[in-house]
């Protein structure tokens, strides 16, 4: 499977080959060997799926160690703007973010290591987001950062997304002490 390493260390984007014929198309959406070839040692234990109306923004979320999660994320329907923020204190790209469109045409997948806050904006109605996690959900370990934080300076392309009450009160980056 073709892949590309991004400037944030450990972040890899995969581009599965689509086999098209007169019935439609086929692709391998996950292949452990492809992960190993990209130098990713992760074992996944949980799949998550969410459906979002257009302009829904979920994030920026992470689980604190020892329940930190690496994720392999993709849009299986619609389009999303996926954003990850490096919150690894010792990283030279601490506080920097990557924004990538994930869509059901390209079927690109993004591998997000532990130590990143993650969120996405649904660019189309009923965008279906499917992702693998390397640790189980642990509600008490959930944390996050404010999606519109001025210091993170993320251009989401929308001014007034639909955000959960929980996400509306996530902390500012300037007050943040990373657990990574």
Show which residues are catalytic: 61, 131
Q: b/e for 140-149, b at 16 or more Cβ within 10 A?
A: ebebbbbbbb
Q: Does 164 bind ligand T46 (CB under 6 A)?
A: yes
Closest approach of Cβ 102 to ligand T46, in Å? Answer: 12
Q: Does 147 bind ligand T46 (CB under 6 A)?
A: no
Sketch the per residue contact string, 66 through 105, with ligand T46: x for CB under 6 A, - otherwise. ----------------------------------------
Give yes or no for residue 132 binding ligand T46 (CB under 6 A).
Answer: no
Q: Which is nearer to ligand T46, 105 or 165 (CB)?
A: 165
Which residue lies nearer to ligand T46 by CB, 27 or 51?
Answer: 51
Neighbours of 17 (CB within 10 A): 11
Q: Is 126 in the site for ligand T46 (CB under 6 A)?
A: no
Site membership for ligand T46, residue 10 (CB under 6 A): no
Give every strand in the sheet of 109-112, ordered side by side.
2-5, 12-15, 109-112, 71-77, 127-133, 46-52
Closest approach of ligand T46 to the CB of residue 56, in Å:
9
CA dist list (Å): 171 to 75, 115, 143, 167, 176:
27, 17, 9, 9, 7
Q: Which of 16, 78, 95, 119 binds ligand T46 (CB under 6 A)?
A: 119
Interface ranges with ligand T46 (CB under 6 A): 48, 50, 58-59, 61, 118-120, 137, 164
């Amino acid at each position: 499977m073709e892949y590309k390493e991004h400037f944030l260390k450990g972040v890899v984007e995969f581009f599965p080959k689509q086999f098209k014929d007169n019935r439609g198309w086929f692709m391998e959406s996950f292949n452990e060997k492809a992960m190993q070839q990209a130098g990713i040692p992760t074992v996944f234990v949980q799949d998550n799926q969410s459906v979002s109306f257009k302009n829904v923004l979920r994030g920026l979320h992470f689980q604190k160690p020892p329940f930190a999660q690496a994720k392999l994320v993709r849009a299986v329907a619609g389009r999303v703007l996926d954003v990850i923020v490096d919150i690894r204190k010792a990283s030279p790209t601490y506080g920097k973010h990557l924004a990538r469109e994930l869509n059901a045409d390209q079927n690109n997948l993004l591998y997000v290591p532990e130590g990143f806050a993650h969120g996405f904006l649904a660019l189309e109605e009923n965008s279906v987001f499917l992702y693998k996690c390397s640790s189980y959900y642990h509600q008490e370990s959930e944390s996050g950062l404010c999606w519109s934080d001025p210091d993170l300076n993320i251009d989401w392309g929308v001014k007034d997304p639909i955000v959960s009450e929980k996400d509306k009160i996530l902390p500012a980056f300037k007050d943040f002490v990373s657990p990574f």
